[in-house]
Amino acid sequence: MNSPALRAVSVGPLIERARAYLNQDDCERLKTAYRFSDQAHLGQYRQSGEPYVSHPLAVAELCTEWRLDVQALMAALLHDTVEDTTATTEEIRERFGPEVSELVDGLSKLDAVEFRNREEAQAENFRKMLLAMARDVRVILIKIADRLHNMRTLEGVAAEKRRRIAKETLDIYAPIAHRLGLNAAFRELEDLSFAGLYPHRYATLSRAILAARGNRREVIGRLQSAVAQQLPKFGISAAVEGREKSVWSTYKKMIEKHLSFAEVLDVYGFRILVPKISDCYITLGALHALYKPMPGKFKDYIALPKSNGYQSLHTTVIGPYGTPVEFQIRTEEMHNVSEAGVAAHWMYKENIGKGTSPLQARAHEWMQSLVQVQSQTRDPSEFLDSVKIDLFPDVVYVFTPKGAIRELPRGSTPVDFAYNVHTDIGHHCVSAEINQRPVGLDTILRNGDVISIQTDADANPHPAWLGFVRTAKARAEIRHRLKTTTRTEAIEFGQRLLDQALRALGSTGLDDPKLEWQQFLAENTAHDKDALLEDIGLGLTLAHVAARRLVPQIANTAPAHLPDHAKNALAIAKTHFTSTAEAITIDGSEGSTVQYAACCSPIGGDAAIGLMRGGAGLVVHRATCGLGRRQRSKDPGRWADIVWAEQLRRLFQTHLIIETQDLRGILARVASAISGADANIVGANTAPKDQTLAIMNLTIEVRERQHLANVLRRVRRVPGVIRAIRIPPQHATNLAEP
């Protein structure tokens, strides 16, 4: 590959740019930092053949476009010295001060740490940068400038490395630039990544866009002329600019909507810049008086700014020849923020010294939320995945019952909303209402929804929530809570199981002083009693196996002093206990250590069997469940009969099918009967069976079989009900409302 033309390396252009807003002393400090960087990188060259110092110099020049302060520019010049030369963080601190040193440290990779693979290294280095940028947003601004220059000079890099860097940029750095409102950098990073990943596609599509620009010149000219004549009639003085979609966004639209390039009609649009906010809305009216707006294609990002601070009115109209054309209407200040985002704070002298701008505060809040996520997530790859999910800023705006607005990523659910309001509300969430209608917790939220969350102090997150939550905060909090509560619940359940197994062998239980704990723990992977009990509660160690090893002298021989019932228990254990566990008593308080099989949905009082599944605890099936019986025949040693405690401490979901006459108000009467029996309906679906009959599928919560029988009796008495029976889950539909 041919090397690009090499430029002369000089600090002059940087100093000239810096003089536009920095004083002479600051410019001298920049020169000192440049000389240090130049000396440190002496003898190092880029793939293009240029002296390496040309890179930090170019990064610093990019930072002057955002008018970053002298400390940030010095850090940009020095950002690779600690990582790639013999210079140290302490030396940087002594020469240039602690502020510059901390910025440089935040930009340096963890080279001294050994990682198992490239992905782990990427995740841990990103975690380090994240913590630094949460303390000082200038870290990420310098990093974006660094990545932008690297992407501009990517042609000198080997193909495989080029694709890897482009993929990382598209997945992480471009979305971060967008999240921080650096839209000009964001668009360029996306297009450069596209060129790095798919050079032939990029070249082909670029040529097509260039040709389309010429082909549509007449349409564009007519539009621009018509708008320029229309706005003064409404008293608006505005600048009308042509705006072309980026190559990557055009390609992405083609892929997502399965379109050919010829079918992408809105490659070209317009941006209208006006003096005041009120002018934006007047301009909107003027446009709609000139061209018909397309229904559903208007967005008011002025009243409801995007999460990155972006503000503008968007409308799509039907232009000449029936071509859809998008207009963006904004003030000059909005435009500056839309291009520079948080960096706009440094671009205006009046902002300096005024503390944190609203946009910076919003960015800081987002970065702090990521810090919270990383504190809850030990696995670096899991953390990086969570951050990637949270980086894409397409949002919905929803409301609390009191009218407070909440901004969430598109695809969020009531559980995401609950964690957004407060972590404790998320942890104890049991149900939700949207616009005063009960919905499932996995319901996708829409713009304008009013969300109400019902909580229960005894409730905890369900592992299934991880399958539908959208936000990184919710995902991290759920995982952390599950790990914490699962350990506590597993230990408590393990105590009950082991005590029960010990007593079946004639021991007095866990408090038996004759138990050989020391020898057992020395031979076992569990390092203490709690670890063993946790393993038993999670099904990693079987209670009857552990019991036999703790009381071997009791298990092998029956001492004469034992009562008859204990001797009988030992005889049975010696014959059968190697293959079959004793019955397990459960009361519903075991939490996530006991799962109720989705294939048969057992409820309290059902004849039931349980599988101690390694790592998942106890899984309870109905004794009549075909799947459970087949699995038990293959591995009987992990199965036990289930005994229900007299007092059950949870509600169980079960499914009903009710056949009724197709009468007005029949669902309400059935619901009233169920409520009168002190049961809850958690999902409902109705459908006509024929012209005179209807079928209801209901999911209800009951305490146990006797409670269910009472519910069914009441339902069968409702006029119009023909039959009402319990059905297996596989015969029920998904009853949560969409």
For residue 81, count CB atoms less than 10 angstroms from its CB and return exposed for 0-12, middle for 13-18, buried for 19 or more: buried
DSSP-derived secondary structure letter, 691: S
Task: Quote the tokens at residue 233.
Answer: 């009639």
DSSP-derived secondary structure letter, 466: G
How many helices, marked H, and strands, marked E, lie in the chain?
A: 31, 19
CB contact burial 157-169 (16+ within 10 A = b; e otherwise): beeeebbbbbeeb
84 annotated active-site: yes
Kindly list the distances between the CA atom of residue 654 and the CA atoms of 238, 587, 617, 701, 727, in Å, as whole numbers in the listed order. Answer: 64, 17, 22, 6, 8
Give me the sign of the Cα torsion angle 316, 317, 320, 323.
positive
List CB contacts of 144: < 8 A, sequence separation 6 or more. 173, 176, 177, 180, 182, 185, 189
90 annotated active-site: no
Contact 505, 573 (CB under 8 A): yes
Contact 57, 64 (CB under 8 A): no
What is 435-462 written as a DSSP string? TTEEE-TTPPP-TT-BEEEEE-TT----
What is 467-523 written as a DSSP string? GT---HHHHHHHHHHHHHHHHHHHHHHHHHHHHHHHHHTT---TT-TT--HHHHHHH
For residue 407, count CB atoms less than 10 angstroms from its CB and return exposed for 0-12, middle for 13-18, buried for 19 or more: middle
CA 66 to chain centre: 30
The one catalytic residue among 26, 69, 84, 120: 84
CA distance 284 to 267: 21
**Residue 296: strand, helix, or coil:** strand
**Residue 420: strand, helix, or coil:** helix
The one catalytic residue among 16, 83, 263, 528: 83
Which run of H or of E encompasses 655?
Answer: strand 652-661
Type of residue at 193: S
Task: Quote the tokens at residue 357.
Answer: 């701008």
Of 554, 499, 555, the closest CA to residue 529 belongs to 499
Could you tell me where the DSSP H helices lie in 156-246?
A: 159-168, 174-179, 183-197, 199-215, 217-233
Question: Rounded to 5 degrees, what angle do the CA atoms 63, 67, 70 make?
Answer: 80
CA distance 549 to 578: 12
CA distance 688 to 667: 12
The CB-based long-range contact list for 84-92 (8 Å cut-off, 24+ gap) reads: 84/41, 84/44, 84/52, 85/40, 85/41, 85/44, 86/40, 87/36, 87/40
Task: Quote the tokens at residue 26.
Answer: 């600051």
DSSP-derived secondary structure letter, 649: -
DSSP-derived secondary structure letter, 51: B
List CB contacts of 716: < 8 A, sequence separation 6 or more. 723, 724
Q: Which residues are known catalytic residues?
A: 83-84
